[in-house]
Copies of this chain bind each other. A is one copy, B any other.
Amino acid sequence: MQDTIRTAALDAEDQLNRAFMALADPVRRQILARLALGDATVNEIAQPFPVTLQAISKHLQVLEGAGLITRSREAQRRPCHLNTTALGPLAEWIENYRLQAEERFTRLDELLAETADQDNPEKEKDNEHQHNHH
């Protein structure tokens, strides 16, 4: 039970690791850019790059392992398809931190407003303050 939870959590962590790692390589980001225009085979993907087909094949395995692409069969060809849903957790993670920072500001706002209310109740909230805390 807790094992499943723990392993699930670890798997989620691992997926984040793999996805961020996969995106850290410019070649792989270019591959995703290509796939954003439509599905493509390994040869089609490899064509513009100055590296061997095998290198691209490895990159595709990394992207697949990160869940960023899926691959099907079509005779000898292995068409690759961009899986944008895998970007969800990444966007979520990033936005979480951006919002967390926002929350810290708003919480500070609330605190300031609250202490201000004690002196000055029924005052309308005007936000848009600059906060400098170091």
Instruction: Identify the A interface with B (CB < 8 A).
Output: 13, 16-17, 20-21, 23-26, 29, 32, 36-40, 44, 72, 79, 81-82, 84, 87-88, 90-91, 93-95, 97-98, 100-101, 104, 129-134
Q: A36-B100, A101-B84 are in contact. Are A24 and B24 (CB under 8 A)?
A: yes
Copy number in the complex reads: 2
**CB distance A131 to B38 under 8 Å?**
yes
**CB distance B25 to A23 under 8 Å?**
no
Contact of A97 among B44, B84, B95, B97 (CB under 8 A): B84
Contact of A132 among B13, B25, B38 (CB under 8 A): B38
In the complex, what distance in Å separates the CA atom of A25 from the CA atom of B21? 8
| A101 cross-chain contacts in B, Cβ below 8 A | 36, 82, 84
**CB distance A17 to B24 under 8 Å?**
yes
Q: A84-B98, A101-B82 are in contact. Are A24 and B29 (CB under 8 A)?
A: no
**CB distance B95 to A91 under 8 Å?**
yes
**A11 CB, nearest partner CB in chain B, Å:** 12
